[in-house]
Amino acid sequence: MIRLQHVYLLLGLLLAWAAVLGLRDRSNPRRWTTGLFWALLAFAFLAGDKVPTAAMGVLVLVLALLAGLGGVRGGAPRPPAPGSQLREAQRLGHRLLAPALLIPGLTLLGVLGLKHLRLGGVPLLEPASVTLVSLGLACAGATAVALRLTRVRPGVAVQEGRRLLDAIGWAALLPLLLATLGSVFSVCGVGEAVAALVRLGVPAHSPLAAVLAYGLGMVALTMIMGNAFAAFPVMTAGVGLPLLVRLHHADPAILGALGMLTGYCGTLLTPMAANFNIVPVVLLDLPDPNAVIKAQAPTALALLAVNLTFIYWLALP
């Protein structure tokens, strides 16, 4: 059986090798702290389930200190030969898109098809983590296709992965940490506090008011936290379930799907989503730090209006 731990193992090994390469990079003035950062993260993936929870909490705090004190820096990457990238792009053409398109396609294949496959009576994929395991396999398959297309050695993929990690830096952890933050907030009762505040200012008997409170609250909380995964459990527990599902009998499946999509509208509008909206600015050397957000704002607002309309029409009876 292919388990989620196997995917974590591959990620951990990749991060460990990135840590080794970072420590050997003498062009980086912070190579020791940068290498330590990726080494600790690699340890979390490789042995996190065998370490006490409190110790992992300390590890996360150390990662935050290393990043907050400027200890995570990228070295000076070796530039490619002049014109080599342009020649390769012209040779490959639109085939360059194949590995990226394979990831969602293979993930869907795994979720819908491979989850039913059994070998010797044992499921091929871990039933409790079919989606994540399928995503890991899809990424591995897409990497193999990319290596075949570009005719380079596997080591080049690792080198380029490390270069991308250096470019993104500590922001690569944001999706993981912010998704976890939503669970922490839910356990701490933030959802109940939000529900109490909403009841004070929103007429609960009005379905339209409840939809607006849920959708706009999802966007606002996503903009604050930087990730819809963090906002979703809070707003759904605090507003979606008590007001829309229980009081107005909304369809929970439709509400959940459209609610998460509504949260993504907030992701397009906030610098807190640094890995989406700030890192591209740095990688592309754009003069305006908010250029990506400004370009996305019209789409986000239009999609928000459509989502709110769909929630009202489709989720409510």
CB 117 within 8 A of CB 123: yes
Name the helix (H) or strand (E) containing 118: strand 118-119
pLDDT of residue 297: 95
* Residue 218 maps to a domain: yes
How many C-alpha atoms does 2 have within 13 Å on its Cβ side?
Answer: 19
As a whole number of Å, the CA-based R_g of the chain is: 22
* Residue 119 maps to a domain: no
Written as six digits, the tokens of 301 are 């607002």
* Residue 82 maps to a domain: no
Helix axes 154-168, 130-150, angle to 10 degrees: 120
DSSP-derived pairing of the beta strands 118-119 and 122-123: antiparallel
CB 260 within 8 A of CB 266: no
* Residue 78 maps to a domain: no
Spatial CA neighbour of 4 closest among 137, 157, 145:
137
pLDDT of residue 13: 92
pLDDT of residue 62: 92
Please state, in angstroms and rounded to a whole number, the distance separating the CA atoms of residues 29 and 227: 32
* Residue 123 maps to a domain: no
Written as six digits, the tokens of 315 are 């989720």
AA letter at 35? G
Claim to verify: residue 298 and residue 179 sit in the same structural domain: yes
CB 215 within 8 A of CB 308: yes
* Residue 109 maps to a domain: no
* Residue 111 maps to a domain: no
The phi and psi torsions of 122 (rounded to 5 degrees) equal -105, 130
Please state, in angstroms and rounded to a whole number, the distance separating the CA atoms of residues 209 and 229: 23
Contacts of 228 (CB under 8 A, 6+ apart): 218, 222, 260, 263, 264, 266, 267
Please state, in angstroms and rounded to a whole number, the distance separating the CA atoms of residues 206 and 293: 33
* Residue 158 maps to a domain: no
90 vs 100, 151, 242, 268, 304, CA distance in Å? Answer: 18, 15, 56, 32, 38
Please state the domain count of the chain: 2
Claim to verify: residue 308 and residue 185 sit in the same structural domain: yes
Claim to verify: residue 305 and residue 188 sit in the same structural domain: yes
pLDDT of residue 298: 96
Spatial CA neighbour of 222 closest among 188, 265, 274:
265
Name the domain boundary from 68, 93, 122: 68
Q: Exposure of 127 by Cβ count < 10 A (0-12 exposed, 13-18 middle, 19+ buried)?
A: exposed
Please state, in angstroms and rounded to a whole number, the distance separating the CA atoms of residues 200 and 269: 27
pLDDT of residue 28: 83
Name the domain boundary from 50, 68, 86: 68
Please state, in angstroms and rounded to a whole number, the distance separating the CA atoms of residues 148 and 101: 15
DSSP state of 72: -
Domain span including residue 25: 4-68
Name the domain boundary from 44, 68, 92: 68
Please give the chain's pLDDT, 317 residues, in tens.
788 888 999 999 989 988 898 888 888 888 899 889 999 999 999 988 888 888 888 998 899 898 888 888 877 666 666 666 677 777 878 888 888 899 999 998 888 887 778 887 788 888 888 888 898 999 999 999 988 888 888 888 888 788 778 777 777 777 777 767 767 776 777 767 777 777 777 787 889 999 999 999 899 988 987 778 778 888 888 888 888 999 999 999 999 999 999 999 999 999 888 778 877 887 677 888 899 999 999 999 999 999 999 999 999 98
252 vs 227, 238, 249, 303, CA distance in Å? Answer: 21, 14, 9, 20
The strand pairing partners of 125, in sequence order, are 2
3-class state of residue 22 by DSSP: helix
